[in-house]
Amino acid sequence: MRIGAILPHLGMYGGVRRFLEIGNVFIRRGINYTIFSRKGQKCGWFKCDFKIKEWSNMEADYILIGDPPCFGVLPKVKGKVFIYVIAAGKYTAMYKKVYGRYPFIAINRTSLEFFPDAYLTEVGVNTKWFTPKRRKVLFYNDRRSCKNSDHIKKQLGGLKNVELVGLKNLNNEQMRRAYQNGDYFVAWETRGGGTCNTAAEAIASGLTVVTNGVNTEPYANRVIKVKDLRRFFTNPMEEFSWEHIADKLLVIFKKDKR
């Protein structure tokens, strides 16, 4: 299988990074991948494991192109073309001009409003390169089962990138200092119908509060609600890795019969 991507340049932009990252993933899997760049065949800010060629002789089994000003080269391309909607907004009208002639792939589900039959891959991130730093994570260390302290300890205890700090028997001044020295606060209560005062205090102190959502409903738009606590603090964007995006693209290539 040969996969190609057409870019106007190799500058330091998110839209460019997408094609570079998935290219390295494909190469690691033994898939032939080539970037066709109009301006320059060297990328000084990113390590590329694939070939970079000029716009002459743009040929592959599958070709990705996302930058609308590049659409003028489409008649010269040899291979099945997929339009990658990576820069909607002001370019929406330019995408519409080729919509229906080629299969579309969107990175944001809002684009489905304009291109309803587009495939969806959404965001990607290199989760092996961008990893969490060590953070001080606070929680209210209370023996009552409704506070679920044991669950928090089980999920986060021993993680190399987490300093887990249980708050217990602190006076008002000590609580204030503890919040100001923390990075995150975890609230994982099991009995609803109340409110988590410590989560509210942590938010007021500038901490990011991670919760299961119980008793934080009044300020739900100020917290991060998660299902898997351990996963959030170890690999919070795992399902959005470039490996997963590459998987989706391969499925799309195989599935599309246009």
The CATH number assigned to the domain holding 249 equals: 3.40.50.2000
| The pLDDT of residue 90 | 86
Per-run averaged pLDDT (10 residues), the chain, 258 residues: 96 91 97 92 91 93 96 95 90 94 95 95 92 95 89 94 96 97 96 89 97 95 96 93 96 92
Please tell me the distance from the alpha carbon of residue 228 to that of residue 224, in angstroms, as a whole number: 12
Residues 74, 144: one domain?
no
Q: Same domain, yes or no, for 144 and 244? A: no
What confidence score (pLDDT) does residue 39 get? 78
The 3-state DSSP class for residue 189 equals coil
Residues recorded for the chain: 258
Q: What are phi and psi of 61, to 5 degrees?
A: -70, -40
> CA–CA separation, 157 vs 24, rounded Å?
34
**Predicted local confidence at residue 87, as pLDDT:** 83
Query: Distance (Å, rounded) from C-alpha 254 to C-alpha 258?
Result: 11
Q: For residues 88 and 160, state if they share a domain.
A: no
140/220 same-domain check: yes
Q: What is the pLDDT of residue 208?
A: 97
The confidence score (pLDDT) of residue 156 equals: 96
Residues 7 and 111 in one domain: yes
**In this structure, are 250 and 227 located in the same domain?**
no
The neighbouring-strand residues paired with 185 are 138, 209
Looking up tokens 């998110």, which residue turns up? 14
Angle between helices 242-255 and 14-28 (to 10 degrees): 80
Residue 73 shares a structural domain with residue 149? no
Phi first, then psi, for residue 36 (nearest 5°) are -105, 110
Instruction: Kindly state whether residues 12 and 77 are assigned to the same domain.
Output: yes
Which residue range(s) make up the domain with 68?
2-127+239-255
Statement to judge: residues 150 and 228 lie in one domain:
yes
pLDDT of residue 48: 95
30 and 101 together in one domain: yes
User: What is residue 244's predicted lDDT score, i.e. its pLDDT?
Assistant: 95
Strands 2-9 and 184-187: unpaired
Contact predicate 96/114, CB 8 Å: yes
Q: Give me the number of domains the chain comprises.
A: 2
H or E element at residue 224: strand 224-225
pLDDT value of position 84: 96
201 shares its domain with 97: no
| Cα dihedral 52→56→60→65 (10° resolution) | 80
> In terms of domains, do 119 and 11 share one?
yes
- The strand pair at 32-39 and 51-53 is best described as parallel
